[in-house]
Chains A and B, each alone.
Chain A
Amino acid sequence: MSGANRIPGAGRLTPAKTARFTFDGKTYTALEGDTAASALLANGVHLVGRSFKYHRPRGILSSGAEEPNALLDISRDSARRQPNVRASVQEVFDGMKVQSQNRWPSLSFDIGGINNLLSPFLAAGFYYKTFMWPRAAWARVYEPMIRRAAGLGTSPTEADPDHYASRFAHCDVLVVGGGIAGLSAALAAAEAGAKVMLCDEQATAGGALHFDASVRIDGVDGYDWAQCVVARLKAMPNVEVLTRTTAFGYYNHNFVALAERVTDHMAHPGKKLPRERLIQVRAKRVILATGAIERHMVFPNNDRPGIMLASAAREYLNHYGVAVGARIGVYTAHDSAYEAAFDLKKAGVSVAAIVDCRTRPGEAVLAEARRLGIEVLAGHAVIDTSGKLRVSSMTVARNGGGANRKIAIDALLMSAGWTPSVHMFSQSRGKLRFDAEGQRFLPGTYAQDCLSIGACNGTDGLQQTIEEALAAGELMARATGANGEGKILLSGEQAFEWTGGMVGAAEGAGPDTSAKAFVDFQHDVCAKDIRLAVREGMHSIEHIKRFTTNGMASDQGKLSNMHGLAIAAEVLDRDIPQVGLTTFRAPYTPVTYGTLVGHSRGDHFDPARKTPMHGWEEAHGAIFEDVGNWKRAWFYPRAGETMHQAVNRECRTVREVAGIFDASTLGKIEVVGPDAAEFLNLIYTNAWDTLKPGRCRYGIMLREDGFVYDDGVVGRLAEDRFHVTTTTGGAPRVMHHMEDYLQTEFPHLKVWLTSTTEQWAVIAVQGPKAREIIEPFVEGIDLSNAAFPHMSVAEGKFCGVPTRLFRMSFTGDLGYEINVPADYAKSVLEQVWARAETLGACAYGTETMHILRAEKGYIIVGQDTDGTVTPDDAGLNWAVSKKKTDFVGIRGLKRPDLVKQGRKQLVGLITKDPTIVLEEGAQIVADPNEPKPMTMLGHVTSAYWSENCGRSIAFALVAGGRERMGKTLYVPMPDKTITVEVTDMVFFDKEGGRIHG
């Protein structure tokens, strides 16, 4: 038994295939293919939630993606839990756990219901005028209260264990929507030979055929025809059919994003399948067959459980076999609602009356109603309803006033007409036009290679829809070059041609009323709220929308936009198209984050880059720090050492004996070609033609505006070959910068650039014993001071493998950087370390590297510079060639602001109290007693405790710094002011002799 309201013989589900689920702890039986909504209705459950603001009891309003009320918490297990799921979209799977939301302690008795009594104080925008006094209450009372009240569902607390997949697809024709129009178009396009993709958001294709059982196509029942077409399409090699797949975003160049729900309907999905799949489609042509969405009627108390869209009730009957009530009422402005009443009546459900606000309903449906013995009250309105947790009556009156009549009902079907779904068309940046006669927005002019067909194009009538679709399918297919022979002909019959429709507030909800006539159900926005917004001065539709929050919930105004617009237009006394529509934005319906993220999570979100020596460093106790995506050894603490102790030991050891350091992360670029030197001349400030093969030089690179962009040592291996190095963080940036100039500004130069950052591993050996350590391993290179002075490079062998050996130093002590192909790094390092360790050397990390270079006045681009520092500011004017006639930045350097007096210049700072280490970023002032705001002269860029100097050291950018040598300045901190003296940037070995050892 799958519910007392299931009518035997009705619907398309199989009675034998049952599934059990719980709702708020109670177990129910459903049928395979049921949605949570149809299953609950089958079991007589209408009350499924409490509204957002007023906590009014709410039921199921629709049978589709537009559902604003029936938002449920669905879970498989404690980790697989999703809030705010539309009951009309979620298919039931055996074992599904469903919970209602936004109520306490229970759905039927909810304390929040008091909000409904307080509603006069909670009108639209009330929070703009409240929660202001007293100010102190904001942090401790108002904010916590609002946070608890906000939202409907509660977030899951466990990590999502499911995985999500991603696909890219190219096709000739993408058809969005698998109803009558979409299926016809797909068929025509496929038979014309195009590569076709067809997607539909529902579990089975058919669109309106799910509810409209009176349609016949080619003599066959409409829905059955649809399934046959799907089978036929799936059998064609040039067609892909995707169901449970929503096209949620239309981007430029016919790029459409689809979200396919793979396992949410399955009882036991298993681990292999992704939960959802993102399919990014680039289509040559797009056909939009997105249909239309029925509107509700705006009248007082139109939100009670049991009050729903007419086509929804019809779908619950014809597709799911469920009667939504025993005695139904209908309130309509459109003929289509009559067919819902007819189908229910024929299924044995009592129809109390059809209330039609039009004085002249369609002739055909009127006749049929009479024939079936259904009372029709034309020219009447439903002006109120009653019933607390379920609708129990409707109050009917003649238009314009008159005696009321209260009619007992347990369900009320409403239809104000159909709104063409132009969301995707709008997202494609097409221009809408307003069809005044139909009171609807339709596709106007297209911005992309796209066509709309069927209800979303305003095409009424079955045969017209079919013909329009077939023509469009063939047209688009041929436009992509398809030349298949197949031709499709179809003919359809429908029972009634529909007329009617209205937008805006119905009788009883007009400007002279204050009843709660809901426009936006999910955000509890009533007709009177929209009028209030206009009275408050909101005259543009965007302001009205944001003031009232109409259309801003997860249903994105699918039911409420047109009504809200019409009500606003009436109050503003303007035409609807003049008031305008708010922007349609992707996603069309909510998309799970997992689907968008795909595999970019955890370790894949931000991949960690490791050098080939990472494992060795780890094994030797290194603590790592992140430098961009790289993991770099920060320091190597020995047993019982704090970071300070480890770093101090490393600093001392390097200068007393030697240290081993991994410099592999720095960027390396191989610059090769007859014009290599000329190219580097243009990119750097230095002159490279004077650099002989076998020698290295420190180069600085500027931006065109004259500011320091990157730096690094460049070695010349031959006339036409340079080994360029960059900072770790700057490597990709510099490569891009060089390629930009080479390809677009200097394409005549014969030079090629290759990134070799990951190809060379770099082992730095620095300190007095550096030569002693590496000597036994070097082959083919004379390491004597005379033959291989500081800033040399040579090729040879190291530990038997090819090497580029650099004699260069970032510590200021005798130093080498051994470049070996990355695959050899680990074994080379092990051999070097074995020897180094016995000689008393240590491994050192980036912290020590920072301190030692600072002791010697070496800058770090990006730390001591920030993109606003010129070479002169940094004391590097010596590196700027005065002879070259052109290089990147040459003109920028001459700009008035860059040559003026008083610019911030890099200087050293020593604290009066040598034990105080300044804070990087701290501001510097001349007069510590100056009232605020103080004149800030600059800031501290680098600051360390220097074990080798026995005191703290620092660099700073200070206005007119070099003229302040020897002067006293101050660094104001929150708890004290620190006195400093401006000094030279070299703190250790001022003569610089150690590097030439």
Chain B
Amino acid sequence: MRPSDISAISDEAFEEFFFLRDNPKGLIFERWRHMHGCGRFFNAARDTVSDKFLQTYKAGEPKPDIDATVVTNAPVETYEATEGDAR
């Protein structure tokens, strides 16, 4: 979320907000837009490994409580893992 007092935050806080993102292997919460349909923005909880959408929720609603362990232990392989030992 964009800080409501954004003009007052520190350089570090602004960097954190604008530039830095987590790139988790597993559960991620993101903003999507239905470009070729209604044009509305919405949020989704997605598993970055399997691309499976776990849940969607409206823009502005708080993040739903999703058991992250369920997601990250899901039986899906990254391409790297399926290709065996690359030693």
Which residues of A pack against B, CB within 8 Å? 252-253, 426, 429-432, 444-448, 539-543, 577-583, 704-705, 736, 739-740, 743-745, 747, 885-886, 890-892, 894-896
Contact = CB atoms under 8 A, between A and B. Distances in A.
A444 B53 CA distance: 22
Contact of B84 (A541, A705, A739): A541
B83 A447 contact: no
Contacts of B14: 891-892, 895
Given A542-B83, A580-B85, A581-B83, A447 B41 contact: no
B76 A431 contact: yes
- 5 closest A-B pairs by beta carbon, nearest first, are A580-B84, A445-B75, A540-B86, A252-B51, A447-B76
A579 B84 contact: yes
Nearest to B77: A431
Contact of A745 (B2, B75, B76): B2
Nearest to B35: A736
Interface in B39-80: 39-41, 49-53, 59-60, 74-77, 79
A958 B2 CA distance: 33
B35 to A, nearest CB: 8
Contacts of B23: none
B20 interface: no
A747 B60 contact: yes
B85 A578 contact: yes
Given A740-B41, A891-B14, 18 more contacts: A429-B51, A429-B76, A431-B82, A448-B50, A540-B84, A578-B84, A578-B85, A579-B84, A580-B83, A581-B84, A582-B83, A583-B82, A583-B83, A740-B33, A744-B31, A744-B60, A890-B7, A891-B7
Contacts of A891: 6-7, 9, 14
A896 B53 CA distance: 40
A15 B55 CA distance: 59
Contacts of A579: 84-85
Contacts, number: 93
A541 B83 contact: yes
A538 B84 CA distance: 13
B38 to A, nearest CB: 11
A540 B85 contact: yes
Nearest to B79: A583
A894 B2 CA distance: 16
B53 A705 contact: no
Contact of B59 (A445, A543, A743): A743
Interface residues of B, number: 31
17 contacts: A252-B51, A253-B53, A429-B77, A447-B52, A539-B85, A540-B83, A541-B84, A578-B84, A579-B84, A580-B84, A581-B82, A582-B83, A583-B79, A744-B59, A744-B60, A745-B2, A891-B9
B83 A885 contact: no
A582 B86 CA distance: 11
Interface of B: 1-2, 6-7, 9, 11, 14, 18, 31, 33, 39-41, 49-53, 59-60, 74-77, 79, 82-87
Which of A432, A704, A740, A891 has its CB near the most chain B CB atoms (within 10 A)?
A891
A891 B17 CA distance: 11
Nearest to A747: B60
Contacts of A444: 75
Contacts of A895: 11, 14
Contact of A426 (B18, B82, B84): B82
Contacts of B60: 744, 747
B58 to A, nearest CB: 9
Contacts of B59: 743-744, 747
A896 B12 CA distance: 11
Contacts of B1: 745
Given A540-B83, A579-B85, A704-B18, A896 B11 contact: yes
Contact of A539 (B9, B50, B79, B87): B87
Contacts of A445: 75-76
B39 A739 contact: yes
B61 to A, nearest CB: 11
A890 B9 CA distance: 11
B20 to A, nearest CB: 13
Contacts of B40: 743
Contacts of B7: 885-886, 890-891, 894
Contacts of A539: 85, 87
Contacts of A892: 14, 18
B49 to A, nearest CB: 8
A886 B9 CA distance: 12
Contacts of B87: 539-540
Nearest to B82: A583
A431 B79 CA distance: 10
A23 to B, nearest CB: 41
Contacts of A739: 33, 39, 41
Contacts of A896: 11
A578 B83 CA distance: 9
Nearest to A894: B7
Given A541-B83, A744-B31, A431 B75 contact: yes
A447 B84 contact: no
Contacts of B18: 704-705, 892
A447 B75 contact: yes
Given A541-B83, A580-B84, A740-B41, A447 B2 contact: no
B82 A542 contact: no
Given A447-B74, A704-B18, A740-B41, A432 B84 contact: no
A75 to B, nearest CB: 38
A448 B85 CA distance: 25
Nearest to B9: A891
Nearest to A745: B2
A448 B76 CA distance: 9
B30 to A, nearest CB: 12
Which of B2, B9, B11, B79 is the most central at the interface, judged by chain A CB atoms within 10 Å of its CB?
B2
Nearest to B74: A447
Contacts of A894: 7
A57 B62 CA distance: 67
A724 B74 CA distance: 49
A578 B81 CA distance: 11
Contacts of B86: 540, 542-543
Contacts of B2: 704, 745
Contact of A447 (B31, B39, B50): B50
A539 B14 CA distance: 46
A429 to B, nearest CB: 5
A976 to B, nearest CB: 43
A747 B75 CA distance: 39
A583 B77 CA distance: 11
A542 B18 CA distance: 38
Contacts of B41: 739-740, 743-744
A167 to B, nearest CB: 17
A337 B53 CA distance: 46
A883 to B, nearest CB: 12
A252 B83 contact: no
